[in-house]
Chains A and B, each alone.
Chain A
Amino acid sequence: MGSNMAEAHPVGFRWPMKAKEKGATLIHVDPHFSRTSACCDLYVPTRAGTDIAFLGGLINYVLSNDLWFKDYVVAYTNASSIVSDQYRDTEDLDGMFSGFDASTHKYDNSSWVYQGPAMEGPEDAASHSGHGQEGTSPAKHQPDRDETLQHPRCVFQILKRHYARYTPEMVERICGVPQDLFLRVAETLTKNSGRERTTAICYAVGWTQQSYGPQIIRAAGILQLLLGNMGRPGGGIMALRGHASIQGSTDVPTLFDLLPGYLPQPASFKDDQTLESYLKGATVKGGYWNNLPKFMVSMLKAWYGEAARKDNQFGYDWLGKITGDHSHIATAAAMADGKVSGFIVFGQNPAAGSPHASLQRKALKQLDWMVAIDLYETETAAFWYAGPERPNPSDIKTEVFLIPTAAPAEKDGTFTNTQRLLQFHDKAVDPPGDARSDLWFVYHLGRRLKDLYRDSTRPRDQGLLNLTWDYLPDRPGPEFRIQDEPSAEKVLKEINGRTVSDGKLLKDFEHLKADGSTACGVWIYCGVFPEEGKNKARNRTPTPDNYVSPEWGFAWPANRRILYNRASADPAGKPWSERKKYIYWDAAKKRWTGPDVPDFPQTKAPDTPAKPEGHGMELHSGADPFSLKPDGRGWLFAPSGLKDGPLPTFYEPLESPVTNLLYDQQSSPAVNRVPRKDNPFSPPGDPRFPYVATTYRVTEQYLSGVMSRWVPWLSELMPEMFAEISPELAAERGVKNGEWIVVSSVRKEIECRALVTRRVHPLAVDGRTIHVVGLPIHFGYKGLVKGAMVNDLVALSEEPNVYIQEDKAFTCNVRRGRLS
C-alpha cells in the first residue's frame, strides 16, 4: 500500500517477485493501477487518502473474528496495559481524543497515559515527539496490567471499541473498495500470519505524504503486532525510501528538530536551558533510551573536542537552539515573507520539487543571496529568469551562485539505503572542471568561516572556533588531480567514535560514556568503523549460506538486519516454529543466537524477571522484545510520542470531495494548514474542484527531474508531462487521449496532455462516483525535456508530528484546452 514498488523501486521488487515464484501471495492496494498492480495476485483500487479506513477495517476484522496471535499479543504488546481513567476516545468525542485545545489546535496528551506508578521523566511527553523519537518520549507510568485483557480500560478493549465501526460496509462506503475484495485481502492476510507464516507490508510516500502519514504507519504497526508479524523473518513494515541516502540524512541528520541518532534538538520552548535540564527532560527511565546522556555527551565531544569539558557543559550552549517550527515548509513561508536572507541548497530543487512550488519560487525572489549546489542547472538555480511566472531578472535582487558538484562515482562516501544498510562508494575519477564534492564545499567553507572569526572572543563564536575540523587526508590519493579533497573516511571515523584518551576507535555503542571519555558523532552508526583499516561499510563478502548477508555493508544499529528480532522467538526463547526460526535462546551456551545480531542483551535469559526498582534495560524482563520502548512492549496504543492521537483514526484529507462518514470531525484537527492568503484550501465537497488528484513516479524519471531530465536515454523514454484520467472522466469533460488539458486546484493551474486510460478508474464512494486524476511528479522548466510541475497545485501543510505536506490526495478540476 502507498507504494508502486515495481516502478519506483524496480530492483527491490525482484524479491517479492521471487517470493511469488515460491508461492507467496502479493496484494496491491492503490488508487492507481501500475506495473506493481499488474504483477500482484490481487489488485484493490482504493480512494487516495483513505488508508486508515482500510487498515482500520483490517484491524477490526482481526479483532472481531478473533484471529489475533494470542501468545504474541499478550506477551509482546501493551494490549494488557491499563490506560488512565481520564482518557476519552474518538468514539466518545465524535472524532476527537481527550485533551484537545481548540485555540492552539494542539493536544495535551496527559490523559493518554497508562494507569500505574509514576516513572521519572519529562512531564510533557508530547514536547519530545518527532520522527523516530517515540522511544525518547516516555510513558509516564509503569503500567498496571490485566493479562486476561478484560479490563474495560485495557488497551485491547479500547482498541476493540475504537475500531468497531470500521466494518467491511464502512470500508466500502469510504474507500470505494467492494466488500468481497476487502474480505479477500483480510482472509489472505490473516491466513498468512501466525506461528508458521508471516506477512510483510511495504509502503512509500503514498502513505507518508498525507496529513496523517505517521498514523497510517501506526495502523500498519497495530495490524502487524496483532498478527505477530514484527521482529520475525518475512514480517515487518518496510519503508521504501526514495533517495539514495534519505535514510542517512534522517539518521545523521540534516533536519531541524533532531541531533544525530534521533536525539531531540534542544529547544527554547522545552526545559532545555542547560545540558543537565536537557538530559533530565529527554532521558527515559525504562529501555535502551535510558542511555541518552552517553549519546549526547559523546556527540558534543565529537563536535567540540578538547573544548568540550564538564565545566562548560561539554559546549552545550554553542548548539543553535530551536525556538519553534523551522521545517522546510515553515521556512519557505518565512522566506516568502522576506524573513530569510541567505539560502544554501544542496542537491534539492524546491522551485519544482517542494509543495506549493509557485510559493517556493516567490520565496526565492525575496532572498539576498542563494547558493545552489548541483550537477546540473536546476529550476531552483534558474528561478530568477525562468519559470511559469516569466520573471523579470531586473526586478530580482537575489545574488545567485550555482556551484558544480561531484557525482557519487567521483567521490568517497557512504549511503544508507532503505534497509538501514551503510554502503561505501569509492571515488573512481575526479569530477570535471571546478566541480567538487559537497564534502569539499562544506569543509572548505567551514575552514574559511573559522578564519573569518579567528580573533573573536565572543561566546557566540566559540562553537565555530572550537569545532573539530581536521579532515584533510594524511596522504591525498596521488592518482587524483584534486589534492585538497577531505577524507570521507576521517569523517566516518568521527561518526563511529573513539575513546578520547587513546584515540582508539569504538567497537560498538555499548562502550559509550556520559563523562566525556568517549567521542562519537552518530551513536547509532557506532561500530561501522571498529578499528583502523576496517571500514565495515566497505564490506563486500558474499555469504551464500546466510540470506541476510551480514558481511555485505553495515546495517545500523550494531549490524542488525531484522529489528526487534527477539520477537522471532516465543517468551521462553524458543522459535515460534521451525519454519520461522531466526533468533533464539541457546540454553547450553546461555546466549541468544541465530543468523543475525540479536536485538537484545546477548546473555539475558528469557526467564529473567524485570527489576521494578532498576532503570534502563533492567526494567524489562527477558521476554520484553522492544528494547527502545520504556515498557519493552510493542505499542498498539501510544501513550506518548504522537501529537495527533494515541490511535490511528480515519479523517478525510485536508481537501476532499466528500464528508467524513465516521465522525463529525472532517479532517485531522492537529494539522497545520499554514494559513496565509497565498495558500488557500478548497472546502469539503467544493463543486469547483470535484475530483481527487494523486501524484506518483514513473520508472524512467526521478524526483523533480534534475537527475533524469538531463539524461538523454531517460528523457527519450519518458519525454512529457501527462495526467491520467479514466475514459468516463474524459467523456464527462469532452477530452480525447493525447489532447491538452488544464488541471487546476484552488491554488494554481497547470497544462499537460491527457492520458486516457483504464489505469485510473472511477470509484463508487457512498453512492457517488468519484473520479481520480493521476499526476507524475517529475517535470519542470529546465532540462532536455520540460513540463508542468504538479507541485504548483499542492498546498503547504504540515502533519503535526513530522511536518510533511499532503500531496497524495487533494482536489482538482480538469478542462480541455491550454493555459491562455
Chain B
Amino acid sequence: MAVEREGGLGLGTLGRLGMAPQPMSHESIVKAPRTRAADKVVESVCPYCAVGCGQLVYVKDKTIIDIEGNPNSPINEGTLCPKGAATYQYVVNPHRVKTVRYRAPHSDHWEDRPLEWAMDRIAKLIQETREKTFLERSADGKLVNQTQGIATLGGATMDNEENYLIKKLFNGGLGVVSIENQARI
C-alpha cells in the first residue's frame, strides 16, 4: 500500500501557512531527506515488542533505504523507540545469514549448502524420525497418533499465518505434540 507524504518545509508550505518567506540558504531549500526519493513506501509493523507500532518501509531500486514510524498510526503517531528506530539496521545488515549453513555430525565447521538440498534433507529426517518414534496407541490402548521424537519451538516473533501452518502441519499432519513458543501465559 503506497502512502503519500508531504514534502519538507519549502517555500510553498510556508506560503500555505500564511507566513512570509524567511531568509533561507540555498542548501536549506534544496536538501531533502533521502526517503523522499523512495520509489515506494510500504506499510509495516515493528518487529520488536508487542505494542504494534506502525512503520513505513521506504524502497528504492528494490532495496530498503529506511524504516520509520508511521505518523498515521493511532498507536505510535510516527514515533519509535530505540529498537524500533533501529529496524532498518536489523533488516539491512551484513551479518545476516544469507545461505543455508550446514554442519555434519561431529564436524568442526559450517558448510554452505543449496536451499533445495537442505529442504529435501530436512523432510527426509522428519520422515525417518517419525517412522522410528510414532506411537499409534498409548500403553493403555488409547488411540494417540503422536510422536515425541520431534519437537518444534518458536513463533512469538513470527506471523500468525506461519504459526497456523506450523500447528496444522506438525500436529494435524505429523502427530508432533511438543509444539511450543515463547508464550506460556
Q: Which residue of B lies closest to A392 (CB)?
A: B108
B172 and A303 within 8 A (CB): yes
- Closest-CB distance, A708 to chain B (whole angstroms): 6
Complex Cα gap A426–B40 (Å)? 12
Closest-CB distance, B182 to chain A (whole angstroms): 6
User: Once the chains bind, are A318 and B152 in contact (CB under 8 Å)?
Assistant: no
Interface of B: prevailing SS: mixed
User: Which residues does chain B contribute within 8 Å of A214, judged by CB atoms?
Assistant: 185
Cβ A14 vs Cβ B42 within 8 A: no
- Smallest CB separation, B143 vs chain A (Å): 6
Tell me whether A433 and B79 are in contact (CB under 8 A). Answer: no
Establish whether residues B163 and A343, one from each chain, have CB atoms under 8 Å apart when the complex forms: no
A780 to B5 Cα, complex, angstroms:
41
B50 touches A256 (CB 8 A): no
B74-A449 in contact (CB<8A): no
Q: When chains A and B are docked, how far (Å) is the Cα of A381 from the Cα of B100?
A: 12
| B161–A491 touching, CB < 8 Å | yes
Is the Cβ of A250 less than 8 Å from the Cβ of B183? yes
In the complex, A335→B89 CA distance in Å? 35
Distance in angstroms between the alpha carbons of A495 and B106 in the assembled complex:
42
Residue of A217, A396, A428, A552 most packed against chain B (CB within 10 A): A428
Within 8 A of A (CB), among B5-43: 40, 42-43
Interface flags, B156-185, vs A, CB<8A=1, else 0: 111111111111110111111111111111
Contacts of A213 in B (CB 8 A): 185
Query: Which of A237-245, A281-289, A671-679, A737-745 lies on the face that meets chain B?
Result: A237-245
Contact with B153, one of A208, A217, A273, A346 (Cβ below 8 angstroms): A346
Report yes or no: B86 in contact with A439, Cβ–Cβ below 8 A.
no
The count of residues in chain B whose C-beta lies closer than 8 Å to any C-beta of chain A is: 118
Contacts of A442 in B (CB 8 A): 162, 165-166, 169
A820 in contact (CB, < 8 A): no
Contacting residues, chain B, for A12 (C-beta < 8 A): 49, 51, 75
Q: A414-B161, A453-B127, A711-B93 are in contact. Are A408 and B51 (CB under 8 A)?
A: no
Q: Which of B129, B152, B158 contacts A341 (CB 8 A)?
A: B129
| Distance in Å: Cβ of A753 to nearest Cβ of chain B | 21
Q: Smallest distance from the beta carbon of B5 to chain A beta carbons, Å?
A: 14
A502–B55 Cα gap in the complex (Å)?
A: 37
**A254, B154: Cβ atoms under 8 Å?**
yes
Residues of A within 8 A of B146 (CB): 320-323
Q: Which residues of B have CB within 8 Å of A712?
A: 89
Q: How far is the CA of A318 from the CA of B29 in the complex (A)?
A: 67
Rounded to whole angstroms, the CA-CA distance of A714 and B93 in the bound complex is: 13
Assess whether A435 is interfacial by the CB under 8 Å rule: yes
A interface residues, how many (CB within 8 angstroms): 161
Decide yes or no: A346 and B100 within 8 Å by CB, A322-B177, A540-B1 being known contacts: no
Q: Provide the residues of chain A in CB contact with B79, threshold 8 Å.
A: 11, 14
Tell me the nearest residue of chain B to A458, going by C-beta: B136
Q: Which residues of chain A come closer than 8 Å to B59, judged between CB atoms?
A: 428-429
- Binding stretch for chain B, among A138-146, A459-467, A597-605: A459-467
Partner of B106, one of A253, A393, A433: A393
Q: Is the CB of B57 within 8 A of A428?
A: yes
The reply to whether A438 and B173 contact each other, CB–CB distance below 8 Å, is no
Contact (Cβ within 8 A) B51 A9: yes
* Contact of A398 with B by CB under 8 A: yes
Q: Does A812 contact B (CB under 8 A)?
A: no
Contact residues in A for B100 (Cβ distance below 8 Å): 401-404, 434
Number of A-B contacts (CB under 8 A): 485
Query: How far does the alpha carbon of A208 sit from the alpha carbon of B140 in the complex, in Å?
Result: 36
Query: Do residues A436 and B115 form an inter-chain contact, with CB atoms below 8 A?
Result: yes
The reply to whether A409 and B148 form a contact with Cβ atoms under 8 Å apart is no
- Pick the contact of A10: B81, B101, B133 (CB < 8 A): B81
Q: A320-B146, A394-B106, A429-B63 are in contact. Are A495 and B161 (CB under 8 A)?
A: yes
A399 with B125: in contact, given A244-B47, A394-B108 (CB under 8 Å)?
yes
Residues of B contacting A260 with CB < 8 Å?
164, 167
- Residues of A692-713 whose CB lies within 8 A of B: 699-700, 702, 707-708, 710-713
Please tell me which one of the listed residues B40, B45, B169, B176 contacts residue A423 in the complex, with CB atoms under 8 A apart.
B45
Q: C-beta contact mask, B45-66 vs A, less than 8 Å → 1, else 0?
A: 1111111111101010011100
- A164 at the B interface (CB under 8 A): no
Task: Find residues 245-268 in chain A having any chain B CB closer than 8 Å to their own CB.
Answer: 245-256, 259-260, 265, 268
A445 touches B54 (CB 8 A): no
Give chain B residues whose Cβ lies under 8 Å from the Cβ of A401: 100-103, 118, 121-122
The answer, yes or no, to whether A661 is at the interface (CB within 8 Å) is: no
Cβ proximity bits B96-114 to A, threshold 8 Å, 1 near / 0 not: 1111111111111010001
Q: Whole-angstrom distance from the CB of B89 to the nearest CB of chain A?
A: 5
> Which residues of B lie under 8 Å from residue A330 when comparing CB positions?
178
Residues on B with C-beta less than 8 A from A334 are 148
Q: Known contacts A345-B153, A426-B42; decide if A538 and B182 are in contact (CB<8 Å).
A: no
For residue A267, which residue of chain B has the nearest CB? B144
Measured in the bound complex, the distance between the Cα atoms of B165 and A513 in whole Å is 23
The answer to whether B120 has its CB under 8 Å from any CB of chain A is yes
Assuming A11-B80, A248-B163, A428-B42, is B52 touching A417 (CB within 8 A)? Answer: yes
Distance A214 CA – B183 CA, assembled complex (angstroms): 13
| A40 within 8 A of partner (CB) | no
Evaluate whether A463 and B184 lie within 8 angstroms (CB atoms) in the complex, with A245-B50, A249-B155 already known: no
Chain A residues with Cβ under 8 A from B99's Cβ?
404, 433-434
Q: Which of A354-373 contact B (CB under 8 A)?
A: 368-369, 371, 373
Contact between A319 and B157 (Cβ–Cβ < 8 Å)? Answer: no
B166–A254 contact, CB under 8 A?
yes
Beta-carbon nearest neighbor of B160 in chain A: A248
- How far, in whole Å, are A603 and B9 apart by their CA atoms in the complex? 52
Determine whether A375 belongs to the interface, using a CB cutoff of 8 Å to chain B: yes
A815: CB under 8 A from chain B?
no
Least CB separation from A803: chain B residue: B184
Let me know if B159 and A463 touch, CB within 8 A.
no
Of the candidates A330, A403, A471, the one having the most CB atoms from chain B within 10 angstroms of its own CB is A403
A531 within 8 A of B: no
Q: Contact check, B150 vs A327: say whether CB atoms are below 8 A apart.
A: no
Q: Give complex CA distance A252, B167 in Å.
A: 8
Smallest beta-carbon distance B47→chain A, Å: 5
Distance, CA A652 to CA B147, complexed state (A): 37
Contact assessment for A430 and B181 in the assembled complex, using a CB-CB cutoff below 8 Å:
no
Interface residue ranges of B124-145 to A (CB < 8 Å): 124-127, 129, 132-136, 138, 140, 142-145
CB distance from B119 to the nearest CB of A (A): 6
Q: Is A304 an interface residue (CB 8 A)?
A: yes
**Of A255, A340, A421, A710, which is within 8 A of B150 by CB?**
A340
Instruction: Please judge, given known A-B contacts A323-B144, A344-B152, whether A710 and B95 are in contact too, CB under 8 Å.
Output: yes
Binary CB contact string for chain A from 397 to 427 against chain B (1 if under 8 A, 0 otherwise):
1111111100111110111111101111111
Within 8 A of B (CB), among A212-244: 213-214, 217, 240-244
Complex Cα gap A443–B166 (Å): 9
CB of B163 within 8 A of CB of A253, answer yes
Chain B, Cβ-Cβ closest to A712: B89
Asked if A384 is at the interface of the complex by the 8 Å CB criterion, the answer is yes
| Cβ B47 vs Cβ A707 within 8 A | yes
CB distance from A121 to the nearest CB of B (A): 22
Tell me whether A413 and B181 are in contact (CB under 8 A).
no
Tell me which residues across on chain B come within 8 A of A154, comparing CB atoms: none
Query: Does A374 sit at the interface, judged by CB under 8 A?
Result: yes
Say whether A318 contacts B172, CB under 8 Å: yes
Say yes or no: B52 contacts A252, CB within 8 Å. Answer: no
A353–B102 alpha-carbon span in the complex (Å): 23
Q: Are B159 and A319 in contact (CB under 8 A)?
A: no
Q: Is the CB of A426 within 8 A of B44?
A: yes
> 10 tightest A-B contacts by CB?
A417-B52, A413-B159, A433-B98, A346-B154, A348-B154, A320-B175, A243-B156, A246-B156, A10-B81, A254-B155
Listed A/B pairs (9) with beta-carbon separation below 8 Å: A252-B163, A255-B179, A326-B180, A346-B153, A399-B105, A408-B47, A427-B42, A492-B161, A710-B95
Known: A255-B183, A463-B174, A803-B184. 10 other contacts (CB 8 A): A12-B49, A253-B163, A303-B168, A319-B171, A321-B146, A409-B55, A417-B50, A442-B165, A521-B168, A710-B96
